[in-house]
Amino acid sequence: RVIGLPGESVEVRQGKVIVYNTAHPDGFVLDESAYIGLDILTKDMPKMSVGDDAYIAMGDNRMFSYDSRAFGPIKKDKIIGRVLLRAWPIKQLSLY
């Protein structure tokens, strides 16, 4: 799941993902309630800046995901494929 977009910064504090960008310089807590259960623990992560051509991704199974928290931002040219279907949450089912 993409958590941070180019030009943003992301941190995890007390289990909450906080995103900083130009619209929210003081950060906002990402609402993940539709796809991350309350029983899922997200370990703290210091603030990580996303470059102009990169993204931060985190797996939904946070305790066992090997993601940007381990290897940093992902360069755009390393991302292949595209999203065709959003299946969850059901209320936001979408084709792209």
pLDDT, one tens digit per residue, over 42-74 is 788 899 999 999 999 998 888 888 999 999 999
Neighbours of 19 (CB within 10 A): 19
Count of domains for the chain: 1
Residue of 83, 42, 82, 74 lying closest to 60 (CA atoms) = 42
Return the exposure string of 43-81: e unless at least 16 CB atoms fall within 10 Å of the residue's CB, then b: eebeebebeeebbbbbeeebeeeebbbeeebbeeeeeee
Range of the domain at 80: 2-95
Distant-in-sequence, close-in-space partners of 19: CB < 8 Å, separation ≥ 6: 3, 4, 8, 9, 10, 27, 28, 30
Confidence of residue 37 (pLDDT cuts 50, 70, 90): low
Write the CATH number for 85: 2.10.109.10
0.75 cut: is pTM over it? yes
Q: What is the mean pLDDT of residues 70-87?
A: 90
Q: Residue 92 pLDDT > 80, yes or no?
A: yes
Averaged over 73-85, what is the pLDDT?
91
